[in-house]
């Protein structure tokens, strides 16, 4: 078990949603209609699972633990990830606004652009975490994996409880969203 195992599992789920969102953009480009409830699932996942839960786990548990073990908060990977988390939040808000505009006007151009900007950013961010930050974290926190994953699990449970949701809810949401996009493709 690595100290970032829980976060890597989140990344797997987020990456699955990124692929489904890219399919959504392709469907919209092809003139297919995506109903509001389906888009709302993707927005819920982006804002609540990715931003509140996953980033919350990193910001509340992983980053402070890395700091306590010698990784500087400023001028290094933690500062960069925090900066990118803010961008992710802003892009999710833009995608939310453009999805509402799409539902009102049936003009998908801004929504397509916002989806693609969001998925590009998030995919790049996840890659940096997977292949840089998490590798450093696993080395710095070697021997502390069980403790780190327990802390991450506790933060996840609290964040999701605040939302009135469970991890299983978001896993099912992603599976359903992916199936809907595959069906429409």
Which pLDDT belongs to residue 73?
93
Tell me the average pLDDT across 81-105: 98
Angle between helices 5-29 and 109-128 (to 10 degrees): 160
User: pTM, whole model, 2 decimals?
Assistant: 0.97
pLDDT-based confidence at 1, cuts 50/70/90?
confident
**C-alpha distances out from residue 101 to 18, 30, 112, 184, Å:** 21, 18, 12, 21
Q: What is the mean pLDDT of the chain?
A: 97
Tell me the average pLDDT across 100-110: 98
Name the residue ranges covered by the structural domains of the chain.
5-184
In tens, the pLDDT along 50-66 reads: 999 999 999 999 999 99
User: Topology of 5-184 in CATH?
Assistant: 1.20.120
| 74: Cα separation from own chain's centroid | 23
| 27: Cα separation from own chain's centroid | 22
105 CB-contact burial (10 Å; exposed 0-12 / middle 13-18 / buried 19+)? exposed
| 136: Cα separation from own chain's centroid | 21
């Amino acid at each position: 078990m690595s100290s970032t195992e829980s976060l890597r599992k989140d990344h797997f789920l987020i990456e699955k949603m990124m692929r489904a969102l890219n399919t959504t953009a392709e469907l919209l480009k092809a003139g297919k209609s995506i109903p509001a409830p389906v888009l709302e699932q993707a927005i819920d996942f982006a804002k609540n699972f990715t931003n509140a839960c996953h980033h919350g786990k990193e910001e509340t548990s992983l980053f402070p633990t890395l700091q306590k073990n010698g990784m500087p908060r400023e001028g290094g990977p933690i500062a960069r990830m925090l900066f990118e988390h803010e961008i992710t939040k802003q892009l999710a808000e833009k995608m939310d606004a453009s999805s509402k505009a799409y539902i009102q006007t049936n003009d998908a151009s801004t929504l397509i652009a916002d989806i693609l900007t969001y998925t590009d950013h998030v995919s790049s961010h996840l890659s940096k975490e997977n292949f840089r930050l998490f590798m450093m974290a696993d080395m710095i926190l070697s021997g502390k994996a069980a403790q780190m994953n327990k802390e991450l699990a506790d933060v996840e449970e609290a964040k999701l409880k605040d939302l009135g949701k469970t991890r299983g809810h978001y896993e099912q949401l992603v599976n359903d969203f992916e199936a809907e996009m595959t069906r429409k493709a």
